């Protein structure tokens, strides 16, 4: 597939993310979308296969703790163009998203399809419960969402593997007692790969976890560490200068200076200082949309160029300084970025988090990934992207602490929470082993430039052992870069990770 086609697709996804009215969800640990190849698929014997966009339905249990409640229709997709009898079944869920548009992960432009091609296997993409149109109930009320938990999602995967009759020839005879199943995931679904293999040993023969955020962390200021380390240093310096100034005038309760700063960004009507601090995070969340094949025209680098290039001259590593940074960053918001994020909405509607009557908080219709993911965030995983402790460099304001996000949990789920909740992240880490996971035949692939790196087994200072039974490979990639074949073409460090993953799969499957 042409690089320009993938690039255009990813930029469209980035724009769609930017249109989310609230920054709380802009940096959620999602898989990058890739385009669906437009080509006819044939099996090894030449039979024409259904398009990979064909939707199949599985009768999934509503509640694995109470099968008497019945089943719901869980959507899935398949590609068996490489399958030969005895080959593995490679299963993947895109995680916290509507699975429509992720069918490209069935094909050999991604790691799941590359594994299937190498091992003569088939690929399956399954939609996560309460995302897209795979819903036990016809709404996303707090009562319905009680059945949206990590364990129910794990049980979904195991029940599918153990009972589904797949629509391909021989698809009723590929249960895990006779056929090796491989679970692949990226980001949250990468963590789900690890968590499932811990919770359900023996169901999946092997796993591949890309950017797997295995450690649930409430106070996740580490999200911004790889961004600060790898973004242009002059841009980092000037962003730090503006953030330090914001925190200073907030600490001094200098209302006049606060108003002047908000006015400089065209956000003078934004009522609350924490919402203003959160708004400035948006420019940093654009980092997560980057991939090795996305160049200077991306929104993140437009932002840094606006701050650091004057009359064709780039600032030194120390930046241009506070005064210019406020002017340049504010001008970028006024000329370009406000419309990119908010469109025609006023600032308070777009970026405010205090008006609980907004439909953003009250919409309970299905296929609302933001609401479903918020439920998981508020109850179990946290991952609140906030300012760092004192003494650490800050590209995000320390005004932002977990309570800012936890208050929004009450906004969205007042029937569930009467006061800001603390998610049960510690319980998740104990139950599914987090950073301490030790599972045979589980391959971890991570990227040094990934903002989710600090929740993976490649977190700074963790020094997890890289073994032949649980390998850990790191490239210079961004978020889930190694899942995309194109990344390995333009970055040899990612290619090395991809080839290692394929080699381990070949070795492990030879031992099946």
pLDDT tens digits along 292-349: 998 788 999 999 999 999 999 999 999 999 999 999 999 999 999 999 999 999 999 9
Residue 388 CB contacts under 8 Å (≥ 6 apart), including other chains? 221, 224, 394, 396, 398
Band (464; pLDDT cuts 50, 70, 90): confident
Residue holding tokens 């398949």? 78
Q: What is the pTM of this model?
A: 0.94
Q: What is the pLDDT of residues 207-249, one digit of tens each?
A: 999 999 999 999 999 999 999 999 999 999 999 999 999 999 9
Distances (CA, A) of 492 to 241, 292, 452, 475: 35, 11, 21, 8
Extract the tokens encoding 131. 């995302």
- Which segments of 115-180 are extended strands (E)? 122-126
Extract the tokens encoding 258. 């606060």
Q: Which of 44-48, 126-130, 360-364 has the lowest mean pLDDT?
A: 44-48
Between 16 and 90, the more confident residue is: 90
List, as one string, the DSSP characters of 49-106: PPPTT--EEEEEES-TT-GGG-EEEEEEEEE-TT--TT--EEEE---SS--TT-GGGG
Q: What is the pLDDT of residues 78-122, one digit of tens each?
A: 999 999 999 999 999 999 999 999 999 999 999 999 999 999 999
Query: In terms of residues, how long is the chain?
Result: 512
Distances (CA, A) of 359 to 130, 153, 349, 355: 19, 27, 10, 10
**How high is the mean pLDDT of the chain?**
93
Q: Which domains does the chain have, with CATH numbers?
A: 39-215+430-510 (3.40.50.1820), 223-421 (no CATH)
Q: What is the pLDDT of residues 367-391, one digit of tens each?
A: 999 999 999 999 999 999 999 999 9
Between 13 and 440, the more confident residue is: 440
Q: What is the pLDDT of residue 221?
A: 97
């Amino acid at each position: 597939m042409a690089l320009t086609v993938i690039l255009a697709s990813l930029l469209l996804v980035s724009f769609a993310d930017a249109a989310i009215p609230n920054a709380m969800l802009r940096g959620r640990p999602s898989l990058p979308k890739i385009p669906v190849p437009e080509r006819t698929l044939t099996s090894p014997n030449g039979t024409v296969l259904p398009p990979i966009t064909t939707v199949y339905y599985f009768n999934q249990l509503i509640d694995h703790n109470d099968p008497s409640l019945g089943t719901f229709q869980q959507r899935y997709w398949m590609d068996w163009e490489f399958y030969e009898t005895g080959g593995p079944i490679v299963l993947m869920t895109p995680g916290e998203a509507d699975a429509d548009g992720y069918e490209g992960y069935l094909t050999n432009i991604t790691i799941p399809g590359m594994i299937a091609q190498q091992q003569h296997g088939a690929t399956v993409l399954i939609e996560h419960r309460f995302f897209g149109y795979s819903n036990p109930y016809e709404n996303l009320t707090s009562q319905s969402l009680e059945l949206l938990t990590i364990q129910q999602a794990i049980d979904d995967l195991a029940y599918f593997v153990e009972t589904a009759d797949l629509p391909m020839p021989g698809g009723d005879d590929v249960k895990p007692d006779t056929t090796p199943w491989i679970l692949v995931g990226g980001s949250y679904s990468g963590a789900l790969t690890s968590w499932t293999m811990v919770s359900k040993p023996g169901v999946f023969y092997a796993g591949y976890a890309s950017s797997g955020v295995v450690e649930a962390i409430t106070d996740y200021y580490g999200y911004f560490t790889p961004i600060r380390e790898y973004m242009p240093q002059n841009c980092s310096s000037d962003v730090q200068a503006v953030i330090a100034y914001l925190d200073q005038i907030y600490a001094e309760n200098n209302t006049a200076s606060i108003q002047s700063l908000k006015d400089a960004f065209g956000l003078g009507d934004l009522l609350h200082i924490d919402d203003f601090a959160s708004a400035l995070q948006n420019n940093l969340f654009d980092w997560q949309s980057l991939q090795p094949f996305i160049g200077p025209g991306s929104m993140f680098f437009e932002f840094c160029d606006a701050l650091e290039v004057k009359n064709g001259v780039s600032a030194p590593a120390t930046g241009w300084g506070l005064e210019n940074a406020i002017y340049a960053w504010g001008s970028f918001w006024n000329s370009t970025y406000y419309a990119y994020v908010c469109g025609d909405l006023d600032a308070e509607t777009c970026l405010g988090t205090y008006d609980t009557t907004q439909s953003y908080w009250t919409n309970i219709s299905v296929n609302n990934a933001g609401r479903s993911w918020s439920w998981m965030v508020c109850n179990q995983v946290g991952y609140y992207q906030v300012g760092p402790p004192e003494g650490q460099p800050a590209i995000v304001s320390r005004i932002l602490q977990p309570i800012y996000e936890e208050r929004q949990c009450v906004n969205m789920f007042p029937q569930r929470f009467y006061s800001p909740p603390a998610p049960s992240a510690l319980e998740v880490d104990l139950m599914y082993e987090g950073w301490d996971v030790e599972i045979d035949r589980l391959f971890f692939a991570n990227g040094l430039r990934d903002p989710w790196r600090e929740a993976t087994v490649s977190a700074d200072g963790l020094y997890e052992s890289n073994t032949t039974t649980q390998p850990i490979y790191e490239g210079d990639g961004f978020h889930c870069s190694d899942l995309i074949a194109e990344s390995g073409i333009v970055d040899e460090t990612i290619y090395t990770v991809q080839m290692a993953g394929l080699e381990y799969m070949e070795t492990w499957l030879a031992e099946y």
